[in-house]
Chains A and B, each alone.
Chain A
């Protein structure tokens, strides 16, 4: 009996541009971090992939050569109360790892992260100085 191996229809049919692929993986990688609690609550920054809206991420062409474009990725995130520069470095690292896994690591020229809001814990009162 002949067997047919079918490729995943969604993966074949998607055929997304590198820009959209980068936006998708950057947003996904950022939101995986435990201290990132959301993206773009003001709904002002997003990448549109056909009818799909990828919130909190924009990808802009920046430099590169013909046939090897490069992009600057901008993320707009909501964070928990934590060291934000450290969190930004960790998110950047996660995004670059995700891009490398998809063969797109060389397409990223820069990653810019904006923390638009904080998710806060209960207030605590400390001793008077």
Chain B
């Protein structure tokens, strides 16, 4: 018998013969762990906001709605602008962000991508397959000042 014929692959398996290595940390012989979409969304939203250069998460309409629901104490601003697809072992994330004017958009978005991947995989055990980022707006320092129109005539 040749060396190739005698070579065997030692792989941990379950009682039913399933390869444990392909199942990830969330499925074991004695049960499974499921991470809800909302959990992944919260982590992604948190991770995005942690990165310097990100002014806010969510496009104009989402942010306006988020501010409104936050004022009445309903809904979760952390998940606005965040969309996720969660499987048993993997997750994909879509983000909409507003970046501070003057920051390098490629650098900020790459930092967001890496932080989101790190946080989600570290906290949930899921493998992040993709992080898509849509930069919808730039924030200027004076944008938050009160710009209510004052009529020139009375």
Binding site for B on A (CB under 8 A): 72-73, 79, 81-85, 88-89, 92, 110-118, 120, 123-129
Q: Given A84-B124, A85-B125, is A124 in contact with B50 using a C-beta cutoff of 8 Å?
A: yes
A115 touching B52, Cβ below 8 Å: no
Report the bound CA distance from A85 to B28 in whole Å.
Answer: 11
Closest to B113 in A: A129
Binding site for A on B (CB under 8 A): 25-26, 28, 30-36, 38-39, 42-43, 46, 49-53, 78, 107-108, 110-111, 114-115, 122-125
Q: Given A110-B30, A129-B110, is A81 in contact with B123 using a C-beta cutoff of 8 Å?
A: yes
27 A-B residue pairings within 8 Å (CB atoms): A72-B31, A79-B39, A82-B123, A83-B122, A83-B123, A84-B125, A88-B33, A110-B32, A111-B30, A112-B31, A112-B33, A112-B34, A113-B32, A113-B33, A113-B34, A115-B35, A116-B36, A117-B36, A117-B39, A118-B42, A120-B78, A126-B52, A126-B115, A128-B51, A128-B52, A129-B107, A129-B115
B52 touching A123, Cβ below 8 Å: no
Set of chain A residues within 8 Å of B35, measured between Cβ atoms: 84, 114-115
Contact of A85 among B33, B39, B52, B107 (CB under 8 A): B33
B32 to chain A, nearest CB (A): 5
